[in-house]
Amino acid sequence: MVVLYNAGSWKDVILTWTGSPMQNIWPTLLAWAVFVVACFFLLEVNHTTFGTEGHCMLGGTMSTLLIFRANAAYARFWKGRTLVTKFFTNMRDLMCYAFLYVKGGESTQSWRDGDYTTLVPEDENDLKAHICSCCPTVSAEALVFLEDSIGAVALSATMKQPLMFRSAKKNALNN
């Protein structure tokens, strides 16, 4: 059911009858109100009390329920954030790997013909030294080298970003 209301004024929102859920629940609400008023008068006539600790139980119960609700919302938030992060990380990795195989246009070809000395290590030892100096937590043994159709591609165990060697660049340009 769609709630129809005009949000021009807060009074209009509160006093709206057409399209509101009140049309469906008013008999139940009226019966509950009559029951509560009857219980109140019955307790007043008999001078009966149910104790003075009711407000403490209500406060503790509400606090517990609010904490559970906040924890559940926090867990859902982190699950969603993790899924979105993994999605975009996988998309980035997919595009990085796809660009290894794409030849590109004239500007890409001219860029590839340029000097790579500052961007790409000369050989495996330079790459290991570079990664180990940038990321102290990555040891040289953690590097995995793959041989594919383009050439040598180095993958860091933690970064998972491909780096092409100079020889791979020349092989890619010749193909």
* 109/103 Cα distance (integer angstroms): 8
Looking at residue 7, what DSSP letter applies?
A: T
- Does residue 130 contact residue 136 with C-beta atoms inside 8 Å? no
Amino acid present at 39: C
pLDDT in tens, the chain (175 residues): 555 656 677 777 777 777 777 788 889 999 999 999 999 999 889 887 776 666 677 778 888 888 888 888 999 999 999 999 999 998 988 887 777 777 777 777 776 666 444 455 555 566 556 555 555 554 444 444 433 333 344 444 444 444 444 444 444 455 5
* 149/173 Cα distance (integer angstroms): 13
Q: Where are the alpha helices (DSSP H) in the chain?
A: 10-14, 22-46, 54-101, 106-112, 124-134, 166-174
